């Protein structure tokens, strides 16, 4: 690679399977410069001869490219070869590279961005849930009861009826599901309905009986079986108490189901412009599912697959650590969970929830537990990614990271704090010292605005704090956490830019960022969080040809309608994986 003055620079360190491109070279040509198009960039190569033999497979031209490359921010055209960008520049410069076999696509002045990276989501699990479970994202308890009853009528006696994506604040009833609601709907099957936030669930009487839980069952560490005022179980199960049900619900998913789940969710997510995901709760079976989907041609996005701490010993024994894999499927960070959920109002806070003076949320693990697994993983070469929503939980995670960093110094650890929702000045200073990466919820203000009342106006000035993170020099990512949050990147942009919910209420206006910053958060910062900033995240020569074609230009759009911008095409590795 060469800098703007033609001096040698360091090449991309990754070797490429079809060709070796060196990323980011910018060679100024004698062609007349176009307004806003400062350079014509081509992929540098080991020799001039090999470059002359490189012909584009595809040229996209007559587009409005926002490249997220500071050296060459705007372009009209790109040439693609072997699944990577070969050249970026004006129509004339790029079309000049066309060979007889090169396909050319006129984009009709459509806006093109790098493909979006959802750095924290749960695609493999969500795909399986969509395949088999009852989608309880409904607007009344009666509607949920009807959906469960319908599924039970098709389910053999005594087999489980499972639901997901239930959200009490989206229903008209103004309360949560109860044991009585579920018993009335489905008395003859065990039922478990998980909350959209993923940190609480609701069971009926047959389910509690199978899990051997009664009114006297003690709460496990980091979990709770809730009781009503008279001391009887009310059917609500929080955090690690859900593990009692995991032990008795038989897994009926086959290996092919795992693959089909990936296939389904990949179609759903690429349709919105997502080209890479961070699967934040992976397992060996999850990795296998992604590989199987890749082998069958159904893996439409790239995956950075976290591994849950419960599988750590198995992975270490196999010699696997963060970074193992390739540009399609790569092992990510070791994942732990420090506290509860924002959408379920179980995040561990320093001050109580509004209207609940004795409720501070829940820890999911002790500091020593987080340290034990964190130290073991870090010593074995793993990146660490720990879920922490509340300020008290984030401080606990920082205690662990600082301790491990002192004991095992590493040049570029890229400690991640997943969600990192409620922050304060001390947290920011400590994160800066570690150069830690926050992965805050991207769509929560817009989509989950009705939940913000439990946190209050003042606290929202310090939640999902993109403005604060960016101003501090940190690199926050875009992160939907789907199913808990919605994943469309255009919704994320609107939420981050306006800080306004679906009903027009503004929450924490001081944390607004610009459209340009929001795009950077959703592209380059996501790549950085997975050590892949030299592979993707921007449209520049040598990088993976991942992009999205939009129906309208977000830079010219009213911020209040960003969510309505249609995605017309999504490309991954030089191939269209979605076309409207």
Q: How far apart are CA 369 and CA 365, in angstroms?
A: 6
Cite the residue boundaries of each domain of the chain with CATH code 3.10.310.70: 123-246
Q: What is the pLDDT of residues 203-213, one digit of tens each?
A: 999 999 999 99
Residue 16 reports pLDDT greater than 80: no
Residue 33 reports pLDDT greater than 90: no
Q: How far apart are CA 361 and CA 368, in angstroms?
A: 19
- CB-CB contact of 447 with 425 (8 Å): no
**pLDDT score for 300:** 98
Cite the residue boundaries of each domain of the chain with CATH code 2.30.40.10: 1-115+537-580
Phi-psi region of 204 (alpha: psi -120 to 50; beta: other; left: phi over 0): beta
Residue 14 reports pLDDT greater than 80: no
Cis upstream peptide for 533 (omega within 30°): no
**Local confidence band at 43 (pLDDT 50, 70, 90 cut-offs):** confident
- CB-CB contact of 524 with 533 (8 Å): yes
Q: Which residues pair with 554 in a beta bridge?
A: none
CA distances from 521 to 115, 119, 306, 478, 524 (A): 12, 10, 20, 6, 6
Q: Which residue has the higher pLDDT, 45 or 204?
A: 204
Q: How far apart are CA 359 and CA 238, in angstroms?
A: 14
Q: Which contacts (CB < 8 Å, 24+ apart) does range 240-246 have?
A: 240/364, 242/194, 242/200, 242/201, 244/211, 244/212, 244/213, 244/220, 245/192, 245/201, 245/203, 245/207, 245/211
**Local confidence band at 44 (pLDDT 50, 70, 90 cut-offs):** low
What average pLDDT does the structure give for the chain? Answer: 92
CA distances from 361 to 139, 169, 278 (A): 26, 17, 26
Q: What is the CATH number of domain 1-115+537-580?
A: 2.30.40.10
**Local confidence band at 26 (pLDDT 50, 70, 90 cut-offs):** very low
CA distances from 383 to 386, 415, 523 (A): 10, 6, 20
**pLDDT score for 41:** 77
Residue 492 reports pLDDT greater than 60: yes
Kindly state the tokens that stand for 522.
Answer: 């959703």
CA distances from 210 to 248, 344, 392 (A): 7, 25, 35
User: pTM here?
Assistant: 0.90
Residue 22 reports pLDDT greater than 70: no
Q: How far apart are CA 250 and CA 327, in angstroms?
A: 34
**pLDDT score for 452:** 96
Choose among 504, 321, 484: nearest CA to 494.
Answer: 504
DSSP at 32? P
Residue 269 reports pLDDT greater than 60: yes
DSSP 232-284: -EEEEEEEGGGHHHHTTS-----HHHHHHHHHHHHHHHHTTTEEEEEEEEE-H
Residue 398 reports pLDDT greater than 70: yes
**Local confidence band at 183 (pLDDT 50, 70, 90 cut-offs):** very high
**pLDDT score for 52:** 44
How many Å separate Cα 557 from the centre of its chain?
Answer: 25
- CB-CB contact of 166 with 194 (8 Å): yes
Residue 420 reports pLDDT greater than 80: yes
**pLDDT score for 39:** 64
| Three-state DSSP class for residue 495 | helix
How many Å separate Cα 91 from the centre of its chain?
Answer: 34
Q: What is the pLDDT of residues 55-102, one digit of tens each?
A: 999 999 999 999 999 999 999 999 999 999 999 999 999 999 999 999
| Three-state DSSP class for residue 199 | coil
Kindly state the tokens that stand for 490.
Answer: 């255009």
Q: How far apart are CA 209 and CA 520, in angstroms?
A: 50
- Beta-sheet strands, E only, within 255-403: 274-282, 302-308, 329-337, 384-388
DSSP 84-123: EEEEEE-HHHHHTT--TT-EEEE-TT-EEEEPEEEEEE-H
Q: What strand order describes the sheet that includes 58-61?
A: 41-42, 84-89, 77-81, 58-61, 103-106
Residue 50 reports pLDDT greater than 70: no
DSSP 391-457: HHHHHHHHHHHHHHHHHS--S----EEEE--B--HHHHHHHHHHT-EEE--SSHHHHTGGGGGGT-H
Choose among 444, 418, 219, 427: nearest CA to 337.
Answer: 418
Compute the C-alpha angle 286/291/294, nearest 5°. Answer: 130
Give the orientation angle of helix 391-407 with respect to helix 367-379, to 10 degrees: 40
Kindly state the tokens that stand for 453.
Answer: 């009342």
Kindly state the tokens that stand for 434.
Answer: 């570690």
Count CA atoms closer than 13 A to 32's CA, side-chain side: 2
| Architecture field, domain 123-246 | Roll (3.10)
């Amino acid at each position: 690679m060469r800098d703007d003055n033609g001096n040698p620079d360091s090449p991309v360190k990754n070797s490429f399977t079809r060709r070796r491109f060196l990323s980011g070279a910018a060679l100024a040509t004698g062609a007349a410069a176009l307004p806003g198009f400062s350079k014509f960039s081509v992929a540098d190569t080991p020799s001039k001869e090999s470059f002359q033999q490189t012909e584009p497979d595809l040229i996209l031209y007559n587009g409005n490219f926002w490249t997220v490359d500071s050296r060459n921010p705007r372009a009209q055209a790109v040439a693609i070869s072997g699944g990577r960008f070969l050249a970026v520049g004006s129509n004339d410069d790029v079309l000049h590279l066309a060979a007889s076999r090169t396909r050319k696509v006129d984009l009709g002045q459509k806006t093109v961005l790098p493909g979006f990276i959802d750095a924290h989501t749960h695609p493999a699990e969500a795909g399986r849930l969509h395949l088999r479970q009852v989608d309880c994202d409904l607007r009344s308890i009666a509607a949920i009861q009807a959906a469960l009853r319908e599924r039970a009528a098709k389910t053999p006696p005594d087999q489980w009826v499972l639901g997901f994506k239930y959200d009490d604040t989206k229903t008209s009833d103004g309360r949560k599901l109860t044991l009585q609601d579920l018993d009335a709907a489905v008395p003859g099957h065990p039922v478990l309905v998980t909350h959209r936030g993923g940190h609480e669930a609701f069971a009926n009487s047959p389910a509690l009986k199978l899990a051997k839980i009664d009114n006297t069952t003690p709460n496990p560490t980091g979990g709770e079986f809730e009781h009503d005022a008279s001391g009887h179980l009310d059917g609500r199960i929080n955090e690690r108490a859900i593990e009692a049900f995991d032990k008795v619900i038989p897994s009926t998913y086959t290996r092919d189901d795992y693959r089909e789940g990936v296939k389904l969710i990949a179609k759903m997510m690429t349709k919105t412009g997502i080209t890479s995901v961070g699967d934040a709760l992976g397992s060996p079976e999850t990795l296998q599912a992604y590989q199987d989907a890749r082998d069958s041609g159904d893996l439409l996005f790239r995956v950075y697959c976290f591994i849950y701490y419960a599988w750590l010993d198995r992975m270490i024994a196999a010699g696997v650590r963060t970074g193992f894999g390739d540009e399609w499927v790569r092992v990510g960070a070791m994942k732990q969970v420090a506290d509860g959920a924002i959408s379920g109002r179980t995040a561990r806070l320093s001050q109580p929830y509004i209207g609940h003076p004795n409720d501070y949320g829940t820890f999911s693990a002790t500091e020593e537990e987080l340290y034990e697994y964190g130290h073991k993983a870090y010593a074995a070469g793993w990146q660490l990614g720990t879920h922490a929503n509340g300020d008290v939980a984030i401080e606990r995670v920082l205690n662990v990271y600082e301790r491990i960093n002192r004991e095992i110094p590493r040049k570029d650890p890229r400690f991640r704090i997943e969600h990192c929702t409620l922050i304060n000045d001390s947290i920011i200073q400590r994160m800066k010292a570690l150069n830690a990466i926050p992965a805050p919820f991207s769509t929560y203000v817009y989509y989950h605005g009705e939940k913000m009342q439990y946190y209050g106006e003042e606290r929202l000035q310090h939640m999902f704090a993109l403005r604060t993170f960016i101003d501090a020099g940190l690199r926050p990512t875009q992160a939907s956490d789907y199913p808990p949050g919605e994943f469309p990147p255009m919704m994320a942009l609107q939420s981050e830019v306006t800080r306004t919910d679906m009903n027009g209420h503004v929450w924490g206006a001081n944390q607004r960022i610009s459209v340009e910053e929001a795009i950077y958060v959703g592209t380059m910062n996501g790549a950085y969080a997975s050590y892949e900033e030299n592979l993707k995240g921007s449209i520049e020569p040598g990088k993976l040809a991942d992009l999205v074609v939009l129906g309208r230009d977000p830079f010219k759009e009213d911020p209040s309608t960003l969510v309505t911008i249609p995605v017309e095409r999504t490309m991954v590795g030089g191939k269209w994986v979605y076309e409207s």
